[in-house]
Amino acid sequence: MPKLNLTHFEAACLFALFTSMVLGVVTMNSDRGRVRYGLKVFGYFLAALIAIGWLMKLGHG
């Protein structure tokens, strides 16, 4: 099996993608709602990722 080398950002984006897919599928009752919720959760993951990344960069100086 090939070994994968990812940056923190790439790994966290993949984590966000798969998690938001599952959350979208299991949370809402209509297909439209599932797509919207999945995209919303993915957006929140990315926003939190970028915000916390900047916070850590600024915190370290």
Partner 1 sequence: MSSKPKAKKEPMPPLKVWGPSVALAWLVPGGGHLLLKRSGRAGLLFLAVAGMYLLGLMMRGTLFTPRIGDLLTTIIHVGGFVGNLCSGVLYFLTVWLGYTQPDMAGHVHDYGTKFLVSAGLLNVLAMVDAYEIAIGRKS
| Chain-centre distance for alpha carbon 22 | 12
Q: Which residues contact 46 (CB under 8 A, 6 or more apart)?
A: 13, 16
Pattern 29-58, partner 1, x by CB under 8 A: x-x---------------------------
Residues of span 2-31 touching partner 1 by CB under 8 A? 2-6, 8, 11, 14-15, 18-19, 21-23, 25-26, 29, 31
Contact (CB, 8 A) for 10 and 49: no
Contact (CB, 8 A) for 20 and 45: yes
Q: How far is the CB of 60 from partner 1 (least distance, A)?
A: 16
Binding site for partner 1 (CB under 8 A): 1-6, 8, 11, 14-15, 18-19, 21-23, 25-26, 29, 31
